Amino acid sequence: MEKHQLGQTDMNVTRLGVGLSEIGRGTEKERASEVLNLALDGGINFLDTSACYGSSEELVGYAVSNRRDEYYLATKAGHVAGGYEGEAWTAKTISDSIKRSLKRMKTEYVDLIQLHSCGVEVLERGEAIEAVQRAKQEGKTRYIGYSGDNDAALWAVESGLFDTLQTSFNLVEQKARFELFDKAKEKGMGVIIKRPIANGAWGAEQSPSDYAKTYFERAKQMREQGEVPEAPDNRILLALGFTFAHDAVDVAIVGTKTPKYMRSNIDMVNNDLPISDAAVAALHKRFEKVGRDWEQQT
């Protein structure tokens, strides 16, 4: 599987990673173990979770902590989650969250701690950033990053304080290629993409979920311009291929709780990419025509 160096870190990551938000919502232990071990067996080496993704951190600890040297592990902190009582974005909440994450995932350290979608005002206050910097000094994480979109993502990039940026990007969510990618690379940041297949909205007969409604409406507007030239028949392959067509993307995290879809994702990345340049160019043009004012979905 193709790999990219994640910015100026020492992490050589597979371009396909696993996002663990979905698996943390009610997935049985054995099913989660099958999915996560399939990912590692298929060559994926980047797992991304969060303290607020339900049971996902516990499932990582249960399923693959015995294979800890085979993957890079990223999590997020800042929100009040998991029955914790406190105030979001304080140093104490972040510190306690990181300690809890390490215990849940049965590891002494993570490779990356990310502040999870806080706004500019939180970043400017500085307490949250100092908390993750302290975790790095204490050896609880090797690198620190910011996960978010729009003005806060731009602030995080321009600050020069973070090793990585995780942000939304896909065929109906292209703002990052105008405002974030070049700046992040200039700062030496690794770029992690969330929502790389647009929540499955492209080509769906109806919105796949409430969460995907905005993407579904955007896709309808872009598809009204006709067939995408040289597009693959598989709509998920089109979406994934579009995201990977951008060299600024170091790793794109795709989530699933289904072994069949994990196998399919790995197979597509290994055997069906890249997609046609003509398809990518057409999607660029369509977005520029109708979507230049669309804000990234947070």
pLDDT tens track for 178-189? 999 999 999 999
Does some domain include residue 210?
no
- Residue 216: inside a domain: no
Buried b (16+ CB within 10 A) or exposed e, 247-263: ebbbbbbbbbbeeeebb
For a pLDDT cut of 70, what percent of the chain falls above it? 100
**What CATH number is attached to the domain comprising 173?**
3.20.20.100
Short-list 165, 124, 133, 132, CA closest to 148 = 165
Q: What is the structure's pLDDT at 284?
A: 98
* Domain span at 253: 3-199+246-273
Report residue 82's pLDDT band, with 50, 70 and 90 as the boundaries: confident
Query: Residue for token digits 């409430």?
Result: 210
| Residue 229 included in any domain | no
Residue 279 domain-assigned (yes or no)? no
For residues 92-116, average pLDDT: 97
For the chain, the C-alpha Rg in angstroms (whole number) is: 18
Q: How many domains does the chain have?
A: 1
Distances (CA, A) of 244 to 171, 231, 233, 249: 11, 14, 17, 7
Name the DSSP class of 224: T
Q: What is the pLDDT of residues 45-68, one digit of tens each?
A: 999 999 999 999 999 999 999 999
The helices-and-strands tally (H runs, E runs) of the chain is 12, 10
Whether 157 shows a pLDDT value over 90: the answer reads yes
Q: How crowded is the C-beta side of 180, counted as CA atoms within 13 Å?
A: 32
Residue 227 maps to a domain: no
Share of the chain above pLDDT 90, in %: 98
pLDDT at 216 over 90: yes
Any domain includes 280: no
Phi (first) and psi of residue 160, to 5 degrees? 70, 15
- Asked whether residue 58 is assigned to any structural domain, the reply reads yes
Q: In terms of Cα–Cα distance, which of 186, 195, 196, 129 is closest to 156?
A: 129
Could you tell me where the DSSP H helices lie in 42-140?
A: 56-64, 91-105, 120-125, 127-137
What pLDDT score was predicted for residue 20?
Answer: 97
- Tokens 């990052």 map to which residue? 176
Mean pLDDT in the chain?
A: 97
The pTM (predicted TM-score) of the whole model is: 0.98
Q: Which residue has 């080509």 as its token pair? A: 203
Burial environment of residue 188 by CB neighbours within 10 A (0 to 12, 13 to 18, 19 or more): exposed
What's the rounded mean pLDDT across residues 271-288? 98
Please check whether residue 266 lies inside any domain of the structure: yes
